[in-house]
Structure 1
Amino acid sequence: MTRPRRAARSAALITALALTALTGCAAPPAAPESSAPADGFPVTIEHAFGETVIPEQPERVATWGWSTADAVIALGVTPVAMPFQSYGGDEQGVLPWVREALDDAGAETPIILTNTGEDIPYEEIAAADPDVILAQYSGITQEQYDTLSAIAPTVAYPDQPWTTPWRDVISITGTALGLETEAEAVLAGIDAEIAAAAAAHPEFAGLTLATAWDVGGVFYVYADEDPRVEFMLDLGFVNAPAVDTLDTDESPFYFTLSYERVNELESDVLVVYGNSDDEVRAVTEGGYAQSLPAIEQGAVAELVGVEFIAAVSPPSALSLTWGLDEVVAQLAEAVAARG
């Protein structure tokens, strides 16, 4: 595809940063002019900040946020740049399932972008010379979106920051890259693995499930809208009524519960997350939860370890199947403990 020189990209970035400093918000870029070629481009993707036109099929893809790089790689494309992931990543900031996928494809590690949280390394992204920037599971602001758009067409989240369902992350990536058929195949493959796991464990069907994490002195309960719960429900479990009853609506995906009320979180099976065994024991051996039926019966699935939690928080095109066997094994042990 015809692409501008890197110097032009750098100049655009400098201009965008200057406009941001002067006005507090860079002017959004004009939609590229392009005739519709046979391959289906240009494509237009709507999102929280308007719409983005991608004039030609991208060859150089940069990602920002969580799980989008996974979707790109699952579709057979190696990003030119992706963010450092401190939670669950290796020394280079690469998550284990991403590392495995890159190795399997014989691909080199992309440029790893400095990731300090709120700040975006615009210069590093511009230096990677992307054709498109995908950030559909991120927390970018309008100002950041405008600045990124001066580098390359940028796709933000459809609605709210950090809330894009993992299936939508994959489908949006497929649309942006002109690989919609491939995206459908990836989704179908994941669904088939989940269905096979459910079929292998009919004992899961209809049992109530609650998921929790006691970390930093705060007890979190995850709602059924949370992706880490959603795929467990796909295995046959149902959301425990106590979860809905106790839900404080402080977030679409989780709520916090005082220790005085933890004993109300009744379910057939309790899933407990923990970075370490000590975090799990804080729940399973803590006095505040001992009256829970699941704990009394030992029907507790303990999902322990930074990498493992990262794989399902939320799951991605690569991580869900990477961690699925362990999740299913832990759930099966918990169900068996009920007798």
Structure 2
Amino acid sequence: MPRRLKLAALTASALATALVLAGCSTGASGDAPATDSAATGGDVTIEHAFGETTVPADPQNVVTLGWGSTDAAIALGTIPVAIPFDSYAGDDDGVLPWVKEAVETAGAELPEILPETIDDEPPYEAIAAADPDVILAVYSGITEEQYETLSQIAPTVAYPDQAWSTPWRDVVTTVGKALGKDEQATEVLQGIDDQLAEAAAAHPEFEGKTIAAVWDVAGTFYVYKKEDPRVEFMLDLGFESAPAVDELANGDSTFFYTLSYEQLDQLQADVVLSYSDTQAEADAFLTAPQTSVIPAVQAGNVAQLVGTQYIAAVSPPTALSLPWGLDQLVDALAAATK
């Protein structure tokens, strides 16, 4: 499946088989269970879907897999020794822009980029060569068999429940526990919440407006529920999830569903936020027969987030990507509410 389709469908169900940008999170965020506290300077034991993992105190060589763990570690002051290749929004080397900027700001060298695989198997040899103290796969799709293999290389922290479904804030707190940086994780999240609050205060016109986040890609129309992280932080900005989003839901997933083109005229919302990889796709969204019947499109109240990097930054957000892409999204939302 092309990465852009994976991105569009990323949810607890879809992500069990494929990685996609768009996360699954609820407004409430809880720390991953741990039987010891890394804050004491000792080992920490973290429970997850495949049991529990004891991480040695003060791990230095950190390898990250999946989405978000790289960003959380860097935001907490730990530059991993190896990180995954990102083919969707990364540069030619597979490095995401906010990761590159953060590493450069820290005055560090870029980590080794793990080779991209086509069979969803982790690149075990490259991971082993990095000699990790811990492998962080907090938001990933590793299987139990893959977890067991990775655990033979180094202690591996998997997702707490379902593949590709860890709330983005919990990625930060879990990585913080694993690295012995609980307090720093709290500070990072507080800083992001402060940014969201500042943006909301600067745009009182967002308050009470209903919104529907959608992606029309390759003939499939995705609608994201309020439980999805890309919607969650827009609610923090003052928007409300449009009632039609729940009314039209068909049970595809807890976090998103697909809607037939014949029903798009029923998608009532003050604002529609659409995602498009290219400007040509964004222009087509406004004029295509199937999407031009959406009430917000007819009214001219469409916010468009265009470009793979900007889509990736909020789908789902991370400790680095949300601050990086927030202004672009807020500007698009502001234009759509005028």
Post-superposition offset of 1:300? 0.5
Residue of 222, 244, 256 corresponding to 2:258:
256
Show structure 1 runs of 4+ deviating over 3 A: 35-40
Q: Residues 264 and 36 from structure 1, CA distance in 2 versus in 1: closer, same or farther, beyond 3 angstroms?
A: closer
Structure 1 position 42, deviation (Å): 1.4
Q: What stretches of structure 2 of length at least 5 have no aligned partner?
A: 1-35
Name which of structure 1's ranges 226-235 and 169-178 shifts more when overlaid on structure 2.
Answer: 226-235
1:334 Cα offset (Å): 0.3
2:225 alignment partner AA: A
- 1:38 deviation in Å? 8.5
Cα offsets for 1:234-278 (capped at 9, x unmatched): 100000000001112212221111111111111000001000122
* Partner of residue 219, structure 1: 221
Label 1:290 to 1:193 Cα distance change in 2 as closer, same or farther (>3 A). Answer: same
Q: Match of 1:46?
A: 47
Rounded to whole Å, the distance in 2 between the matches of 1:150 and 1:273 is 40
Q: 1:186 to 1:53 in 2, by over 3 A?
A: same
What runs of 5+ residues in structure 1 fail to find an aligned partner?
Answer: 1-34
Does structure 1 retain, via aligned residues, the 8 Å contact 2:303–2:336?
A: yes
Please report the RMSD computed on the Cα atoms of aligned residues, expressed in angstroms.
Answer: 1.5
Deviations 1:111-140 (A, max 9, x none): 111122511111100100000000010000
The alpha-carbon deviation at position 304 of structure 1 amounts to: 0.3
Task: Please name the residue that 2:249 is paired with.
Answer: 247
Question: What is the distance in 1 between the residues matched to 2:216 and 2:190?
Answer: 34
SS in 1 for 2:334: helix
Given the two structures, how large is their TM-score scaled by the length of structure 1? 0.87
Shift of 1:291: 3.3
Q: Which moved further from structure 2: 37-46 or 225-234? A: 37-46
Structure number with greater Rg is 1
- The match for 1:206 is 208
Matching residue of 1:89: 90
Q: Which stretch shows the higher mean deviation, 90-99 or 52-61?
A: 52-61
Q: Are the aligned partners of 2:38 and 2:44 in contact in 1 as well (CA < 8 Å)?
A: no
Question: Taking CA–CA contacts closer than 8 Å with sequence separation of 6 or more, which of the two structures ends up with the larger relative contact order?
Answer: 2
Aligned position for 1:285: 287
Aligned partner of 2:264: which letter? V
Partner of 1:158: 160
Quick one: distance in 2 between partners of 1:39 and 1:224? 37
- Aligned residue identity for 1:111: E
Instruction: Provide the TM-score with structure 2 as the length reference.
Output: 0.87
**Would you say how many aligned residue pairs link Structure 1 and Structure 2?**
302
Q: 1:212 to 1:38 in 2, by over 3 A?
A: closer
Match of residue 151 from structure 2: 149
Cα deviation, residue 197, structure 1: 0.2
Cα separation, 2, equivalents of 1:290 and 1:93: 35
1:288-315 deviations in whole A, cap 9, x for unaligned?
2333321122110010001111111111
Determine the C-alpha separation between the residues in 1 that align with 2:140 and 2:273: 27
Query: What does residue range 1-339 of structure 1 map to in structure 2 within 5 Å?
Result: 39-117=40-118, 118-336=120-338
Question: Residue 75 of structure 2 contacts residue 188 of structure 2 at CA under 8 Å; is this kept in 1?
Answer: yes
| More deviation, 285-294/88-97 | 285-294
Matched position secondary structure for 1:289: coil
Q: Offset at 1:332?
A: 0.5
Question: Distance between the aligned counterparts of 2:216 and 2:283, measured in 1?
Answer: 9
CA distance in 1, matches of 2:281, 2:232: 23
